C-alpha cells in the first residue's frame, strides 16, 4: 500500500519567477532533501510560494494556507541556501514554522548544483557549524548534482 504525504514548498523571493522545475523534479525522483521520504510514499504538492522577500513577510501566511490544504511537511527550497548571500533567516523560519504549525520543516528541496557548491565552498559560506545541518540533505553525490545544473 502506498501512503501519501502532502508537502508545501517555500522559495526565496529572489527566485520568484522560478517555475519550480528543479524542486519538482527532485520531488518526483526523491532526490536531495526529498530523499527523506520513503520510496513507497506519494508526495502531493499542496502549496508553492515565495517568502515575499526579507525578512520573510509571507512565511506565516504561506504556512497557514499550506496547513489548511493538508501540508504535513514544508520544504524551505534549496534556493534559500544557495543564493548569495544565503538566507539569513532560514533557521528562524524553520523554528517559527515548527513552533507555530503542526508541520515538520525540512531545509532544502533539490540537490545543490555543482556551480553553487563550488562557489560557496571557495567562499567558506557554509563552514560554520550552524550551516552543516542546513545543507546536509542537499549535498549529494556528484552524478546526482550534475543532473541539477
pLDDT in tens, 35-77: 999 999 999 999 999 999 999 999 999 999 999 999 999 999 9
Q: Is the pLDDT of residue 137 over 90?
A: yes
Predicted confidence (pLDDT) per residue in 88-124, tens digit: 999 999 999 999 999 999 999 999 999 999 999 999 9
Q: 3.30.1300, 3.30.40, 1.10.8, 3.40.50: which CATH number matches 3-146? A: 3.40.50
Average pLDDT on 141-149 reads: 90
Q: Give me the residue spans of the domains in the chain.
A: 3-146
Are the beta carbons of 104 and 73 closer than 8 angstroms?
yes
Q: Is the pLDDT of residue 1 over 80?
A: no
pLDDT at residue number 2: 76
* Neighbour order of strands in the sheet with 41-50: 41-50, 3-11, 73-76, 104-107
Residue 149's pLDDT band (boundaries 50, 70, 90)?
Answer: confident
Peptide bond just before 55 cis, omega within 30 deg: yes
| Greater pLDDT, 34 or 149 | 34
Amino acid at each position: 500500500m502506498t501512503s501519501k504525504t502532502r508537502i508545501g514548498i517555500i522559495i526565496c523571493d529572489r527566485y520568484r519567477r522560478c517555475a519550480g522545475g528543479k524542486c519538482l523534479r527532485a520531488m518526483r525522483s526523491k532526490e536531495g532533501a526529498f530523499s527523506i521520504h520513503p520510496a513507497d510514499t506519494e508526495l502531493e504538492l499542496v502549496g508553492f510560494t515565495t517568502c515575499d522577500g526579507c525578512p520573510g513577510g509571507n512565511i506565516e501566511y504561506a504556512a497557514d494556507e499550506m496547513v489548511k490544504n493538508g501540508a504535513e511537511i514544508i520544504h524551505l527550497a534549496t534556493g534559500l541556501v544557495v543564493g548569495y548571500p544565503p538566507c539569513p533567516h532560514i533557521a528562524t523560519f524553520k523554528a517559527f514554522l515548527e513552533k507555530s504549525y503542526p508541520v515538520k520543516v525540512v531545509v532544502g528541496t533539490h540537490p545543490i548544483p555543482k556551480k553553487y557548491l563550488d562557489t560557496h565552498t571557495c567562499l567558506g559560506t557554509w563552514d560554520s557549524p550552524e550551516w552543516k545541518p542546513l545543507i546536509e540533505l542537499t549535498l549529494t553525490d556528484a552524478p546526482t548534482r550534475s543532473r541539477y545544473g
